Amino acid sequence: MSEPRWRADFPLLAKRDDVVYLDNAATTQKPAVVLDALRRYYETTNANVHRGAHRLSDEATQAFETARETLARRINAQSSKEVIWTRGTTEAINLVAAVYAPLVLGEDDQVLITEMEHHSNIVPWQNACRRTGAVLKAVRVLPSGELDLDDFDAKLDERTRIVALSHVSNALGTVNDLETLIAKAKGSGAAVVVDGAQAVAHFDVDVRELGCDFYAFSGHKMYGPTGIGVLYGREELLDNMPPWQSGGEMIERVRIEATTYAPLPFKFEAGTPDISGVVALASAVDYLDGLDAAAVQAHESELLARATSALKQVEGLRVVGTAPEKGPVLSFLLDGAHPHDVGTLLDAQGIAVRTGHHCAMPLMDRLGIPGTVRASFSLYNSGDDVDKLSRALHEVRGML
């Protein structure tokens, strides 16, 4: 397995050859084109967007709105009006839970999530249920890391107003069968909110084909900057939702007595936005669009298969999460060792992994474990990275 040709696109990997970076589910490295876009924006186009009377503001606005169109095309939204800029997945889900949920939830209505969700797709719904009197229920996760589909069917009923679930588990890599789950939810009359943070970097997402109502993701997990993300929402739903935050940018006319709000998408984008982040995220999307998607997916699948096979040879190592459909995430435990200790010893050998509960405490509770060590792979990782991880784990096993 040769070094992937895409590795040369990422400057940090060339400058930090002392680190094997296997923490991609937390954040990805950035290609040179994204770094260039950030610098170019500030050197040539920096101005505030919308309503500016000068040329520089017009240029910044054009770049900003062109980026919105780029993201809309990437996920096949019906219109760029359906793309709302947020700080990331967490803020996007909070927006839906704070603004949409009160419109549809009442006493004893139900929000259905799953036990594998990231905390950002749990806590906002707890808050929404507390405010509205609705009930929060969670679909069980099987020991393999797959959703218990019988439990999903049993808990989905006529009182379910919202179903919120992840496309790909950040802790285990499980890829959920969204098309089937969404079709069932829609058949029951529920709106569907998808946490797509772990999906958008690894395969194409078509929100219209999926049939979801909202889809949230972060730029920094798909080779873009931190602090910028996207909420996709169906236009008719967004139109009927009131603004979340108030101030500049999201207004049409302000009087002391009352205010009218700007049309979509601007009514959800109060204040000066992360303009450079938006422009750089569009560059990340252009970068992804220029790749051979099938080749990237095949490479990441090969990395996962190679790592799974190699790590199973480590004495006392147990893979956590064995669903047949997985993203490039490998979680594991070493017998008798706390995940944090394993991660620290791996770091001493130059291997960067993530340890702990991965913001998925209910999942860890269901599996009866304190957390895991998580190695997560990306298009720039190589077979040599996997081999170094394997050798380092054999060393750790000897130390422990």
What are the catalytic residues?
A: 359
Contact 155, 137 (CB under 8 A): yes
Residue 227 to residues 55, 73, 246, 278, 326, Cα–Cα distance (Å): 27, 21, 20, 10, 27
The phi, psi pair for 354, rounded to 5°, reads -110, 140
In this structure, which amino acid lies at residue 319?
Answer: V
Write the DSSP symbol of residue 121. G
372-376 and 354-356 strand pairing: antiparallel
CA 29 – CA 395 distance, rounded (Å): 27
Contact 25, 221 (CB under 8 A): yes
Kindly tell me the sign of the dihedral angle through the C-alpha atoms of 83, 85, 91, 97.
Answer: negative
CA 333 – CA 319 distance, rounded (Å): 7
- Dig out the tokens for 68 from the structure: 């919105």
Strand segments (E) across the chain = 20-21, 83-86, 110-114, 135-139, 160-166, 191-195, 214-218, 229-233, 251-254, 259-261, 317-320, 329-334, 351-352, 354-356, 372-376
Kindly tell me the sign of the dihedral angle through the C-alpha atoms of 294, 295, 300, 306.
Answer: positive
* Number of C-beta neighbours around residue 124 at 10 A: 23
Q: Please list the residues that pair with 259 across neighbouring strands.
A: 254
- Dig out the tokens for 327 from the structure: 């993203």
- Dig out the tokens for 223 from the structure: 């080779």
Burial class (CB in 10 A: 0-12, 13-18, 19+), 17: exposed
CA 362 – CA 360 distance, rounded (Å): 6
CA 198 – CA 307 distance, rounded (Å): 19
Residue 66 to residues 59, 206, 292, 353, Cα–Cα distance (Å): 10, 19, 23, 36
